[in-house]
Amino acid sequence: MLSYLSSLPDDAVLMDVFKLHPETSRPLLDYHEVVMRGPSPFSVAERELIAAYVSGVNSCGYCHGVHTVTAEACGVAEGAIPAAVVDVDSAPVPENMRPVLRYVGKLTRTPAAVTRADAEEVLAAGWDENALHSAVMVCALFNFMNRMVEGHGIKAGPEYFATSGQRLKEVGYAGLNRLLEA
C-alpha cells in the first residue's frame, strides 16, 4: 500500500493526511461532528449506516470498512451494511431505512436522476424533511470523503478498521480533531 503523496508514509491512513494538512482538516472534522453527531432525526448508528453504505456504493474500501465497524459498534446488525450494498431490499436493515438507503444510493450513483418521487418515498416511510436533509448531508459528506481518501491513495485493512471504528464510536469526530493536537 503506497499513498500518492511522498510526504506521507507508505502505509498512510487518513489521520496522516489530517495531520499533514490541519488547516483543511480541522474545519472538515468540525463539520463531520455536526453532520454525524449533532442533532438529527437519525441516530448515530443510522448516520454511520448511511456513511458506510454510500462508501460501499462508491467502492471506497477504506471508508466502507471504518464506517461499517463504527455503525456495528453503535448497534447496526453485523453484516447488514455489506448486504445492503448488494441489495437494499433483502438486507437485514430496518424497513424505514430502506428508502433512505435507496435515496442516497441513487444520489451517489446518478445525482441528476434523483426526483421528487424519490424524496416522497423517504417521507412516506415516516421520515420528515429534516431527516431527508440529514441523509443528503451524510451522503454528500461521504461522497466527498471517499474521493479525498481515494485521491490520496489511502488504504487499510480489517485490523485498522476495527481500531478506527471503535475509536470513532468512543470519541466521535471532535475527538479526532483533538488528536491533531497530539
Cell numbers describing residue 114: 434523483
If 0-12 CB within 10 Å is exposed, 13-18 middle and 19+ buried, where does residue 148 land?
Answer: middle
The DSSP call for residue 87 is -
In tens, the pLDDT along 84-112 reads: 999 999 999 999 999 999 999 999 999 99
Residue of 53, 39, 38 whose CA lies nearest to 103? 53
Q: Where are the alpha helices (DSSP H) in the chain?
A: 14-20, 22-37, 44-57, 61-73, 80-86, 98-109, 116-124, 129-152, 158-179
> Does an H or E element contain 74, and which?
none
In a domain, 155, yes or no: yes
In a domain, 1, yes or no: no
Residue of 75, 66, 4 whose CA lies nearest to 32? 66
Name the pLDDT band for 182 (thresholds 50, 70, 90).
low
In a domain, 65, yes or no: yes
Task: Determine the Cα angle at 62 with ends 22 and 41, to 5°.
Answer: 80
Name the pLDDT band for 1 (thresholds 50, 70, 90).
low
51-66 per-residue burial string, b: 16 or more CB within 10 A, e: under 16: bbbbbbbbebbbbbbb
In a domain, 8, yes or no: no
Query: What's the predicted TM-score (pTM) here?
Result: 0.96
Average pLDDT over residues 139-143: 98
The domain of 35 spans 14-176
In a domain, 56, yes or no: yes
The CATH number linked to 163 is 1.20.1290.10
In the prediction, which pLDDT does 31 show? Answer: 98
In a domain, 27, yes or no: yes
In a domain, 28, yes or no: yes
In a domain, 4, yes or no: no
Other residues' Cβ atoms within 10 Å of the Cβ of residue 75: 13
Tell me how many domains the chain contains. Answer: 1
